[in-house]
Amino acid sequence: MFRFILLFVVFVFPAASAGASPFAEAGDRQLRNDVEVLARYGLISGPVMTWPLTWRQITARLDKTDGTDNLPPYVRMALARVRGKIPGEFHASLTVRGTNTPALLRGFDYTARSEADVTLSAELHGDTISAKGVIGYRYSEDDEVTDEVPLDGSYFAKEWGTFQFYVGTIDRWWSTGRESALMISNNARPMPSIGLMRSEPKAFESKWLSWLGPWDLRVFLARMEEDRYFAHPLVLGIRVKISPVENMEMGAMRAIQVCGEGRPCGPGTWTDALFGGAADNTGTLDEPGNQLGGFDFSYSFFLTKDVHVNSYFEFTGEDEGQYLPVKFATLWGMSLYGGLGGDGLQWRLTGEYSDTSAKFKIITGKRDYNVFYNHSIYRSGFRYEGRAIGHSLDNDVRLFSLRASLFGGENWEGSIAWHKAHLNRDGAGYNPVSLSAEKIDIFELSGSLPTRMGAVAMEARYMTDQPDTPGEKDRRLDLELSWRAAF
C-alpha cells in the first residue's frame, strides 16, 4: 500500500514554481568531500556530517559568495563542482550498475545491491514542494533480491517554516565515519518512512542558547518489512547536532524499535520506550522495545597552511544503564586533505577503525559478543531486508580501513583502499554476513570519469578470503561497472 501512495504523491501531486531539490542525498563521496572543504573555508555553515543535507544549507552562503580569487585552486574547483550539482526545477537520470558480486563492504559511496541494478528517476521541485520518483530493477542469481521493482530513493517533501517534512524511502548516513557507520547508514535498503529535518541549521537567537552554535534536528518514523520475527515493527530515529565552535560538530542520536504484529503499541509503550529507562533490560517480554543510543564528534583544523586534518569518532550503545547508553560499539577516524598543484586537484587520505563487539564502557570493560543489532524480543534485530541498518559487516566485527583519493576539476575521481576485516570474531551467534570467524583483506581500486554520454565508473575489488569459508582461503576478484546519464 505504501508504494502505491508514494507513486501517486510523487507523480501526480503538482509542484509550485521553480525551485531547487530539498536534499543532497547520501552516496556521493566526491560531493561529501567538496562540502567538507567548503565548510572548512566558511562557505557552508553548520553541521555537515549528517546526510542527506538540505540544499538550502549548502547554498545559503554560496549564493552570497562574490569573489573567489583569494581561495586556493582546489577550493574554487570544489565550489564549481558543488554548484554544478544543484538541481533545478526538473531533473531526471538513468543509472545502470553491473557486477559479478555485490560489494561485501559498503561505505558512504553507493554501490550496486545486486548483479544488475538499474534505476530511473525523475524530480520536480518548487519553492516549498518537491517530489522525486524512482523506479528500479534488480536481478540476482541467488534470489536474495526480494523486490525486483524497488522505489528506493522516492520521496515527497514540503518545506514548512524552518523544517523540511517528507515521506518516502531515502538513504541516511548518521555518522562522522566515512567507511562505516554504527547506528544509521545506507548499508540496508532505505525503509519507508515519514520524517523532518531543519531546512538550514542556524544558532538560537536566545543569549542563553546561542553558544550552541548552528544546530540541526532529524526525526523519522519508519516501518520495517513483514518477513521477520515480529512483522512490521516501527523504528523511531532521532538525531541532534550542534556546532559550538567553527568546524566542530557534536551529535547525539537514538534509534528505537517498537510495535509490530503481536507486540504492544499503545501510548504507554511509547512513553516507556522514550522516557522509562527502568523498563529496558528487564529480560522479559515487558520491555517496550529495542534501542540504540550514541553520540559522535568531528573537528577539523589546519595541520599546515595547505594540509587540513579532520578527526572524528562515534560511540553507539546497544543497551541502557542509568538512563545512559552502555555496551558500546566504537568508531575512530582521521582524514588528511588538501590541494595539489595549481589545477585544482584535491587529495584525501583517511584511516578509520571500527569495532562492533560491545564493551560495557567505551574504552575498557568486558567485551560482550552476539549483542550488537540483536535483541531477545525482536530477534531479527536492527536489520532491514537482511542487512544491518548500521555497520555493513554487522556485529562482532573489527575493521581497519585506509583510503587515498584524488579528485579532479572535471568531476573525475580516483581512489585506492585497503580494508582489514575480522568477521564474527567469536565464530558463534548470529551474524548474517558470516556465520564463521573470518579474517579478510579487501583491496579496492576505483575511478569515475565524465563523458559526453554520461558518467562512467569502475571499481575492482580483490578479497583474500570470503565469508563462511572456515579453514579455507577462497580468494575472489570482483568488478563493478556503472553508467549514469542526467537529463
The one-letter code for the residue type at 127 is D
| Secondary structure of residue 38 in the 3-state scheme | helix
Burial of 446 (0-12, 13-18, 19+ CB in 10 A): buried
- Which pTM value belongs to this model? 0.92
Contacts of residue 322, defined as CB under 8 A and 6 or more positions apart, other chains included, come to 277
| Secondary structure of residue 448 in the 3-state scheme | strand
Q: Which of 115-119, 139-143, 191-195, 351-355 has the lowest mean pLDDT?
A: 139-143
The one-letter code for the residue type at 196 is L
Confidence at 444, pLDDT banded by 50, 70, 90: very high
- Distance from the Cα of residue 85 to its chain's centroid: 19
Using CA atoms of 382, 385, 386, 390 in order, give the dihedral in degrees to the nearest 10.
Answer: -40
CB 413 within 8 A of CB 429: no
- pLDDT higher than threshold 70 for residue 15: no
Confidence at 140, pLDDT banded by 50, 70, 90: confident
Q: Where are the beta strands (DSSP E) in 286-437?
A: 290-302, 307-321, 324-340, 345-359, 367-368, 383-384, 387-388, 398-407, 413-423
- pLDDT higher than threshold 70 for residue 123: yes
Provide the percentage of residues in the chain whose pLDDT is more than 90. 71
Burial of 304 (0-12, 13-18, 19+ CB in 10 A): exposed
Q: Which of 155, 159, 179, 184 is nearest to 167 (CA)?
A: 155
- pLDDT higher than threshold 90 for residue 31: yes
Mean local confidence (pLDDT), 307-332: 86
Q: What pLDDT does residue 5 have? A: 44
The one-letter code for the residue type at 31 is L
Computed from CA positions of residues 359, 365, 370, 376, in that sequence, does the dihedral angle turn out positive or negative?
A: negative
Residue 447 belongs to what H/E stretch? strand 438-451
Give the cell for residue 264: 504492544
| Secondary structure of residue 57 in the 3-state scheme | helix
Q: What pLDDT does residue 305 have? A: 82
pLDDT tens across 78-120, in order? 999 999 998 888 989 999 999 999 999 999 998 999 999 999 9
Q: Which of 415, 181, 410, 204 is nearest to 298 (CA)?
A: 181
pLDDT tens across 360-409, in order? 777 666 788 999 999 989 999 999 999 999 999 999 999 999 999 999 97
> What is the greatest pairwise CA distance in the chain?
65
How many C-beta atoms surround the C-beta of residue 98 within 10 A? 16
Confidence at 281, pLDDT banded by 50, 70, 90: low
Q: What pLDDT does residue 17 have? A: 38
Burial of 242 (0-12, 13-18, 19+ CB in 10 A): buried
Q: Which of 114-118, 142-146, 325-329 has the lowest mean pLDDT?
A: 142-146
Q: What pLDDT does residue 6 have? A: 46
pLDDT tens across 154-165, in order? 999 999 989 999
Mean pLDDT of the chain: 89
How far CA 298 is from CA of 169, 173, 213, 245, 254, in Å, comes to 27, 15, 15, 11, 18
Read out DSSP for 254-312? Answer: EEEEE--TTS--SHHHHHHHHH-GGGSS-SSTT---EEEEEEEEEEEEESSSSEEEEEE
As a whole number of angstroms, the distance between CA 373 and CA 390 comes to: 8
Q: What pLDDT does residue 450 have? A: 92
Give the cell for residue 287: 520491555
Domains, the chain, ordered by start: 23-279+287-486 (2.40.160.130)
Confidence at 145, pLDDT banded by 50, 70, 90: low
Beta bridge partners of 426: none
Confidence at 322, pLDDT banded by 50, 70, 90: low
Computed from CA positions of residues 366, 369, 371, 372, in that sequence, does the dihedral angle turn out positive or negative?
A: positive
Contacts of residue 374, defined as CB under 8 A and 6 or more positions apart, other chains included, come to 381, 395, 429, 430
Q: What is the chain's length? A: 487
Beta bridge partners of 160: 163
Q: What pLDDT does residue 334 have? A: 98
Strands 476-486 and 454-463: antiparallel
Confidence at 67, pLDDT banded by 50, 70, 90: low
Using CA atoms of 337, 342, 343, 349 in order, give the dihedral in degrees to the nearest 10.
Answer: -10
How many C-beta atoms surround the C-beta of residue 303 within 10 A? 11
Q: What pLDDT does residue 21 have? A: 66
Q: What are phi and psi of 9, to 5 degrees?
A: -65, -45
The b-or-e profile of 243-277 (16+ CB within 10 A means b, else e) is: beeebebbbebbbbbbbbeebeeeeebbebbbeee
The one-letter code for the residue type at 298 is S
- pLDDT higher than threshold 90 for residue 462: yes
pLDDT tens across 194-214, in order? 999 999 999 999 989 999 999
Strands 398-407 and 290-302: unpaired
